[in-house]
Amino acid sequence: MAAEQSYPEGLLYHPEHDWARLEGEEGTFGITWFAQDSLGEVVFFDPPSVGTQIKKDEPYAEVESVKAVSDVIAPLSGEIVAVNEALGDEPGAVNEDPYGEGWMVRVRLSDPSERDSLLDREAYEQLVQES
Amino acid sequence: MSRYTSITDSDRRAMLETIGAGSLEEVFADIPAEVRLDRDLELPPGMSELEVTEHLSALATRNRSADEEVTFVGAGMYDHYVPALVDSITQRSEFLTPYTPYQPEISQGGLQVMFEFQTAVSELTGLPVANASLYEGPSSVASAGYLAKLENGRGKLVASRGLHPHSRETLSTYARGFGSRVEETPLDERGATDLEALAAAIDDDTSAVFLQQPNFLGTVEEIGPLVEAAKRTGALCVCAVDPLTLGILKPPGEYGVDVAVGEGQTLGNRLDFGGPSFGFYAAAERYLRKMPGRIAGETVDVDGKRGFVLTLQTREQHIRREKATHNICTSQALNALAGMVYLAWLGRRGIVELGELMARRTDYAREALGLEAINPGPVVREFAVRVPDLDRLMESAREDGVNPGYRLGQDYPEYPDGLLVAITERRTRADIDRLARHAAAVRDEVPA
Amino acid sequence: MSQSKVIGFAPGGEDTVTIYERSQPGRRAFVAPPIDVPEAPLEELIPQSERRAEAPALPEVSEPEIVRHFNNLSKNNFDLDTGFYPLGSCTMKHNPKVNERVAAFPGHARLHPAQEARYAQGALELMSRLGRALAEVAGLPHVSLQPSAGSHGELAGLLLTRAYHDDRGEPRTKVLTPDTAHGTNPATVRMAGYEVVKVGTAPDGGVDLDDLRRKADGETACLMLTNPNTLGLFDRNISEIARIVHDAGATLYYDGANLNAVMGISRPGDMGFDIVHFNLHKTFSQPHGGGGPGAGPIAVSDRIEPFLPRPQVVEVDPGNGTAPVYDLDLVRPKSIGRLRGFAGNFGVFVRSYAYICSLGGDGLREASDAAVLNANYLKARLAEPGIGEHLPIAFDRPCMHEFVLSGQGARRNLGVKTLDIAKRLLDHRVHPPTVYFPLLVDEAMLIEPTETEPKERLDGFVEAVRAVLEEAAEDPEVARGAPYTTPVRRLDEAGAARRPVVRQPPAGAEPPGDPGDARQVTSGSL
């Protein structure tokens, strides 16, 4: 069952439809409701390995629906410290709970100043409405 | 003349009026004059169906088919019996005239055949996942080389000279594109892959190692140590197999290969001067999302009814485009159907019985010919011998309506007098004895 | 839910029982020929280490039940011999019956590929004749029949391009493909070791010349182009495109998927292409076979010829006034080498040669004329009120053999997507067009009627589309839930991809679908 459209307060958003939840030195990343809705039912998530360095604005993983493949863009730079293994068995969590069970990776952030370029909820909602 | 169309003059007038064009020429206005063909095609005028049939028949009679001689030629394609059942099913329009099952709701027949075919290939090879077919044997071998490149990015492909020469050459052709090089390793004095030479060729830059069981000379390789050597540095091990021998030979999944591929012609497909047939491709589970070709999967419809769909399509060119795991689109569905019907006909016991029959007749034939064996070890459907006067044997046998086999020298300069002799269920003891009489004639003239 | 206007799909076969589920130990169809040689124990012939311990679990079924099984399966297929099949880009033209007959002649079907050339003169002559005919249609002098399908021909073309540039000591790294290209083009580029560079499309649907000029440079090995393109439009700037590409020192590759529009009208060689592939299974009438077999011969210009794959069919004049003899030339020092075993899909060549003989040069031209007339007629009819406002034409120009509609209107006006329309058409017993391709057009519907359809069938399709749209205006739920009358209804494709079951589970195994086993593939032996 797909989730209702929502863009929670308190997350930071990347214009490529990714979100980041910051907790101290670390951030949790995933894709937004808008991204999962355009993709359709997610059938596979190909995560990076723990320890991989990822760079803001560059793809760090792929997510697949039945008839589309999409790069997942890193909202911030850092090193992967955990991946959501549960998506291997239940990729549909990305559709059902994009900001919760559907999280993708946890990252130790390397450049805290990068967060200033991300959007807050209001700015991202504006962007979604325009697209 | 146009055939298979049905536009009458009055249709054309009505259609042009609907289009709003005065003539068909107006419809073609986008084609600039400088690229128009300003003459008729220089091709003969159309023929009646009767004339076409007679013309093609005249060409066909200038070939000597396997119906007109007793052939011991194999070398990758074999003169097996194709049961009437296969033709009767593959000629049904519902299988003959749809295309790729893009709309699964009206393509369940074809999709279920793919699923059953994948199951059969998986059973035969002992590997958990198989696709629904590739073009044919050697290009399937080369496709496994591309998988290895995508998987580990290494630069070298090591191929035993026991791998079919067409497979080795096709692999080299492909590899020049995707940026790997192929190194061949020799056969030993018993016509088997030289284990030491193979092991020595495999290094940390080896992307994949290619073997064939039985090998091109027909030798049943002692496969375990070869596979072990192949995998020592983390390279993929790819083995080409002959599906009709898999009733009696160990399935490649049991000896630990990553990918098993092969030529499917022996499974209910015609000789057809080399094609169309099909290639098959089975692999260890971890390659499922990297395999080439169509894959059918089981699912349910909205009412919970069982059904089949093309699945894991994100691997394929129409979705992943430049990141696809292969460029294949059209493959060989109809030929794979023939393969599936044939395997259903042969059945669980038949494939063993047929394998045993071939192995026994092959053993008998090698004895009966009494020529020096190039590969004296175990063989099951084909073997190689040295012939003292090969030209004479070819001439005398062929005058008697027997084609003694494949001249090895055309691919293996190291065996200039080599003859590769293939046995199928169609080659009876009487046929073998007939070839043996010709062999005796050349053998006896040469002093020991 | 209203289904009153539906004609209905043909009754399907029996429910989906697989051949493995029909298997009973002890049943059989095959009877082996008698063992007429000494019955040596198998242990003496094959070492135990290489022997199979247990027979593969192939089905055990009698012949009558095998026949019923596959006949019932066949009834769950929709096929061209039964109805209209306007699957864009696939050229679903009639499969002439005589082709099957001549391909089955023992001299063709039972000819071993390693037969010596002197005993295969008919086959080699047929290949030579087919090659000459294709060369004439392409307007390029040299042909290799070897590639097994269009994508295989594309790979051949790029490997030839690589060999050509390498031979001149000018290796290059990039291949240009328009954003309208078939997916096979970019996939092939990568397989051939090149980098893909996309070229944009101009507002008129052709190649964006400015973008092409910017991107064609000294690193460009080739431009791959389909003309008419996947929008069904002939690129009016083709001569200029060829000039830009050749000025950059690159080759120009013709994807022959759409050749059916221009036979005898315009030739790729005359447009400036260096390498062309043919899809014999599209343009030259093969049985579509549920997705093959096909063949993808290539035709090339003089400068590419030295690199053609091995072997090549050659005609040798014995010089004594007797008929020419044919041979396979394996000694081609600059050749890219083989692309497959033996000399190609000969059975496919026989059928296409028979087709060319049947039509002749004038017939091929008439076939293209009719294909284009049919497409433009269908395009005009689908622009009529009641349809056109919901399915507007993507590029409003005369089309060639196919055209693209956009389902945007239907989505906005009626709340049904292209997919829903396609699924509802299934209940009207027509095969839907190709959907969601080309990617450039939103909610795309690519329609190719082919020349073998009579006007009444085209009119019937128009009425089916109209009925679907009228029905959607009243109640979009009908289309959203379609189809209703097919052997199965909409299938759970996401479920199939999340938990792939790609073979019959072994007997006694747990049934698939337990979420705990998600993504695990069934394996092991039955």
Taking contacts as CB-CB distances below 8 angstroms, the residues of chain A near C500 are none
Q: Which residues on neighbouring strands pair with residue B162, listed in sequence order?
A: none
**Residue ranges of domains in chain A:** 26-111
Q: What tokens were used for B407? A: 């001249």
Please indicate whether, in this complex, the C-beta atoms of C515 and A65 are within 8 angstroms of each other.
Answer: no
Domains in chain C with CATH codes: 100-356 (3.40.640.10)
User: Is B108:C487 a contact under the CB 8 Å cutoff?
Assistant: yes
Q: Which of C35, C343, C347 sits opposite B360 (nearest CB)?
A: C35
- Confidence band of C508 (pLDDT split at 50, 70, 90): low
User: Is B137:B261 a contact under the CB 8 Å cutoff?
Assistant: yes
Q: Is the pLDDT of residue C1 over 80?
A: no
Q: Which amino acid is at B38?
A: D
In a mutational test of the B interface, the residue from C31, C46, C132, C166 whose CB has the highest number of chain B CBs within 10 Å is: C46
Mean pLDDT within C361-375? 97
CATH of domain B85-341: 3.40.640.10
Q: How far apart are alpha carbons C409 and C481 in whole angstroms?
A: 19
pLDDT in tens, A17-50: 999 999 999 999 999 999 999 999 999 998 999 9
- Confidence band of A131 (pLDDT split at 50, 70, 90): confident
Please indicate whether, in this complex, the C-beta atoms of C498 and A67 are within 8 angstroms of each other.
Answer: no
Q: Is the pLDDT of residue C525 over 60?
A: no
Rounded to two decimals, the pTM is: 0.95
Q: How far apart are alpha carbons C13 and B108 in whole angstroms?
A: 10
- Entry field: residues in chain A: 131
User: Is B79:B405 a contact under the CB 8 Å cutoff?
Assistant: no
Q: Quick one: pLDDT at residue A67?
A: 84
Interface list for B 151-180 with A (CB within 8 A): none
Q: How far is CA A17 from CA A46, A66, B165, in A?
A: 18, 20, 52
User: Is C99:C285 a contact under the CB 8 Å cutoff?
Assistant: yes
pLDDT under 70 in chain B at which residues? 1-2, 446-448
Q: How far apart are alpha carbons B365 and B352 in whole angstroms?
A: 20
Please indicate whether, in this complex, the C-beta atoms of B94 and C74 are within 8 angstroms of each other.
Answer: yes
- Confidence band of C506 (pLDDT split at 50, 70, 90): confident
Interface list for B 315-374 with A (CB within 8 A): 319-320, 323
Q: How far apart are alpha carbons C185 and C456 in whole angstroms?
A: 36
User: Is C517:C498 a contact under the CB 8 Å cutoff?
Assistant: no
- The percent of residues above 90 in pLDDT, for chain B, comes to 96
Q: Quick one: pLDDT at residue C6?
A: 40
Q: Is the pLDDT of residue C257 over 60?
A: yes
Give the CA diameter of chain C: 80
pLDDT in tens, A48-58: 999 999 999 99
Report the alpha-carbon angle C230-C231-C236, nearest 5.
100
Q: Is the pLDDT of residue C12 over 80?
A: no
Of residues B341, B68, B93, the one with CA closest to residue C108:
B68
Element holding B177 (H helix, E strand): helix B165-178
Show Cβ contacts of residue B360 under 8 Å, excluding neighbours closer than 6 positions: C35, C37, C38, C39, C40, C45
Q: What tokens were used for A121? A: 């909820």
- The percent of residues above 70 in pLDDT, for chain C, comes to 94
Q: How far apart are alpha carbons B106 and B85 in whole angstroms?
A: 24
Q: How far apart are alpha carbons A97 and A104 in whole angstroms?
A: 12
Interface list for C 461-500 with A (CB within 8 A): 493-494, 497-498
Q: Does A89 touch chain C (CB under 8 A)?
A: yes
Q: Which of C75, C289, C363 sits opposite B96 (nearest CB)?
A: C289
Tokens 């014995």, located at residue: C318
Q: State in words which class domain A26-111 has.
A: mainly beta
Q: Is the pLDDT of residue C513 over 90?
A: no
Please indicate whether, in this complex, the C-beta atoms of A43 and C498 are within 8 angstroms of each other.
Answer: yes
Tokens 């996401």, located at residue: C494
Interface list for C 310-339 with B (CB within 8 A): 310, 336-339
What are the helix and strand counts (H, E) for chain B? 14, 15
Please indicate whether, in this complex, the C-beta atoms of C498 and A88 are within 8 angstroms of each other.
Answer: no
> How much is the ipTM here?
0.97
Q: Quick one: pLDDT at residue C523?
A: 35
- The percent of residues above 90 in pLDDT, for chain C, comes to 91
Please indicate whether, in this complex, the C-beta atoms of C515 and A89 are within 8 angstroms of each other.
Answer: yes
Taking contacts as CB-CB distances below 8 angstroms, the residues of chain C near A42 are 494
Mean pLDDT within C44-60? 96
Q: How far apart are alpha carbons C427 and C456 in whole angstroms?
A: 19
Q: Quick one: pLDDT at residue C342?
A: 97
Mean pLDDT within C382-395? 97
Q: How far apart are alpha carbons A21 and C272 in whole angstroms?
A: 56
In a mutational test of the A interface, the residue from C439, C493, C520 whose CB has the highest number of chain A CBs within 10 Å is: C493
Of residues C284, C17, C12, C26, the one with CA closest to residue C131:
C284
Q: Quick one: pLDDT at residue A3?
A: 84
**Residue ranges of domains in chain B:** 9-60, 85-341
- How many Cβ pairs within 8 Å bridge chains B and C? 753
Please tell me which chains touch A, using 3 or more CB pairs under 8 Å as the contact test: B, C
Angle between helices B165-178 and C184-191 (to 10 degrees): 100
Mean pLDDT within C375-389? 98
Q: Is the pLDDT of residue C54 over 50?
A: yes
Q: What tokens were used for C410? A: 């239907």
- Confidence band of C514 (pLDDT split at 50, 70, 90): very low
Please indicate whether, in this complex, the C-beta atoms of A69 and B313 are within 8 angstroms of each other.
Answer: no
User: Is B209:B232 a contact under the CB 8 Å cutoff?
Assistant: no
Q: How far apart are alpha carbons B359 and B378 in whole angstroms?
A: 9
Please tell me which chains touch C, using 3 or more CB pairs under 8 Å as the contact test: A, B
Q: What tokens were used for B261? A: 């591929």
Taking contacts as CB-CB distances below 8 angstroms, the residues of chain A near B299 are none
- How many Cβ pairs within 8 Å bridge chains A and B? 16
Q: Quick one: pLDDT at residue C511?
A: 52
Q: What tokens were used for B410? A: 């055309």
Q: Does A71 touch chain B (CB under 8 A)?
A: no
Q: Does C101 touch chain B (CB under 8 A)?
A: yes
Show Cβ contacts of residue C34 under 8 Å, excluding neighbours closer than 6 positions: none
Please indicate whether, in this complex, the C-beta atoms of C497 and A92 are within 8 angstroms of each other.
Answer: no
Element holding C316 (H helix, E strand): strand C312-316
Q: How far apart are alpha carbons B88 and B70 in whole angstroms?
A: 26
Average per-residue pLDDT in chain C? 93
Show Cβ contacts of residue B87 under 8 Å, excluding neighbours closer than 6 positions: none
Interface list for C 407-466 with A (CB within 8 A): 436
Taking contacts as CB-CB distances below 8 angstroms, the residues of chain A near C494 are 40-43, 65-66, 92
pLDDT in tens, B175-201: 999 999 999 999 999 999 999 999 999
Q: Does A44 touch chain B (CB under 8 A)?
A: yes
Mean pLDDT within C340-369? 97
